[in-house]
Amino acid sequence: MAARHEEIAQELRQAIDRGEYPVGGTLPTETELSARYGVSRGTVRQAVAALTTEGRIGSRQGARRVVLGNRRSQSFAELRSFAQWAHAMGRTATGRVLDQHRRPATLEDAEKLQIKPGDEVLQVLRVRGLDGEPVLLERNVYAAWMADSVERLPADCISVVQALYEDIGMIFAYGEHVIDAVAAGAEDARLLEVRRGSPLLRIRRVTTTPAGRPIEWSDDRYISGTVSFTVANSIGSNPLARQAGQA
Amino acid sequence: MAARHEEIAQELRQAIDRGEYPVGGTLPTETELSARYGVSRGTVRQAVAALTTEGRIGSRQGARRVVLGNRRSQSFAELRSFAQWAHAMGRTATGRVLDQHRRPATLEDAEKLQIKPGDEVLQVLRVRGLDGEPVLLERNVYAAWMADSVERLPADCISVVQALYEDIGMIFAYGEHVIDAVAAGAEDARLLEVRRGSPLLRIRRVTTTPAGRPIEWSDDRYISGTVSFTVANSIGSNPLARQAGQA
DNA sequence: GTCATCGACTTGTTCGGACAAGTGATTCCG
DNA sequence: CGGAATCACTTGTCCGAACAAGTCGATGAC
């Protein structure tokens, strides 16, 4: 957080959370913020642009910016790492590897990881919980160049993302997520201790390095009622997209 | 699309979709793009910033930008309007109002719509379908100042958003969505023609005007397998947030 | 009283410049 | 041959300025 515009964005976020700028009210003008923080208008605009994409404030030409909400959106690390997210929520995360083996890449693996079919991949099945209760079933497929590092992790590793960062400096930089709902299959039900057919929230994602190289893809299934996802959008930018289901 | 940086962003999007900049490859440098389009570097940066938040390209200081994917994300209108989204997918949307009545606002209504408890609101129950098949059950609550316009709509109105825009110039500008999975209740099951307990993807959202005034909130339940949501994020920006479930 | 006009104010767009910070290939040295 | 240092290149940050475009309240005409 060295950049000045990030500092300002953070201060504005906190001010909104404190109620200094109430929901439905307006933010100070760019000129006033420039003077207050002693920066140029461009720097202020970078800061408020961040809050806008987060959905905290709305922006229209000619009118002051409006505070839309004070919901706190977790950081990327918290989003991508179940353990760090749980920690931020004041909950205790658990995790256990149930199965782990190497196999040749299927066509699906090859497409998602940008490798050739038949190349070796590492498949991992994990169950994760909050405060001892199972919450999430995670099926991961890692590219071969990651496999060694993942296999070295202990079976009860809490935070895979953090462990890989400390171990080999691996950073998970980008992710694409597809969200839908499915019924629990036989294996899902047994491992998550729910009835077959129970609704599960499914998130399928592909993660890449900062250089754009795919690291892994994953199929996460959350027990209904344990976790929800929040997304904000505006007429100017919509990170979220609805797609017809081809299951 | 008057702004030059938006034009450039659109051209870059199309170039990526055409395969001119293949996935895994790099984009030209900012300097080169500046020269090509005859604009300053700042304008180019605004354009590529848009593609970055969409998750199409990755960005790291010192290195050229990387193409992450060419998935096309729908426009805001398509996201917010079931009808417009269906049209863009080449499907036919249907819709029917099952129930519509005014009632006093509950505490939940009041909080979400920023009104006082007891103020009048308009509740609407709609079922919507694709190509004749029911797909989505929609429970809407509109603020009183919108009620008249909504009531004037025909019961089989396909696109509520578009009708309200043409009728009174109402624009849905911001939205916040909470996504989770639930089991179909008795009413859900009957109206959607699925078994009780079937998994449904639930989207709860609040929509506001450009000025930040809440218009309506909604509880949408999609039949599993018919629709999925996609979101992209990066280490620098994450519109998506995971939250512990208090259902 | 109602409505149109006006004008101060605010955000959006774009330019040009300067420097900091990080990357990646090359070069050089042991 | 391997690894460290170098260096050109690229993106990130920040400044200051100017004008366009839209909002919103006040003013004034009818």
Question: Up-side HSE of residue A212: CA atoms within 13 Å toward CB?
Answer: 21
Give residues with Cβ within 8 angstroms of A111, minimum separation 6.
none
Residue A71: predicted pLDDT: 66
Q: Does position A244 have pLDDT exceeding 60, yes or no?
A: no
pLDDT band of B241, cuts 50, 70, 90: very low
Residues paired with B136 in a beta bridge: B128, B222
Q: Among the ranges A240-244, B88-92, B222-226, B242-246, which has the highest mean pLDDT value?
A: B222-226
Q: How high is the pLDDT of residue B186?
A: 95
Q: Which fold has domain B76-223?
A: Chorismate lyase (3.40.1410)
Min Cα separation B65/chain A (Å): 8
Which residues of B are less than 8 Å from A53 in CB distance?
53, 237, 239
Q: Which residues in chain B are closer than 8 Å to A173, comparing Cβ atoms?
A: 58, 234-235
List the domain boundaries for chain A.
4-67, 76-223
pLDDT tens per residue, range A68-93: 987 654 444 456 678 888 887 788 99
Which 8-state DSSP code applies to residue A74? P
Phi-psi domain of A24 (left: phi exceeds 0; alpha: psi -120 through 50; beta: other)? left
Name the residue of chain B whose CA is nearest to A77's CA.
Answer: B235
CA of B84 to C1' of D8 (A): 50
Fold type of domain A4-67? Arc Repressor Mutant, subunit A (1.10.10)
CA closest to C22 C1', residue: B62
For residue A79, the model assigns a pLDDT of 62
The predicted-structure confidence for B113-171, as pLDDT tens digits, reads as follows 988 999 999 999 999 999 888 999 999 999 988 888 888 888 888 888 888 887 777 88
For the stretch B26-67, pLDDT in tens is 999 999 999 999 999 999 999 999 999 888 999 999 999 999
How are strands ordered across the β-sheet holding B93-104?
A: B93-104, B120-130, B133-143, B214-223, B199-208, B174-183, A227-234, B240-244
Find the Å distance, CA of residue A3 to C1' of nucleotide C17: 20
CA distance A139 to chain B (A): 19
* Contact with chain B for residue A208, Cβ under 8 A: yes
Pairwise CA distance, residues B136 & B21, whole Å: 38
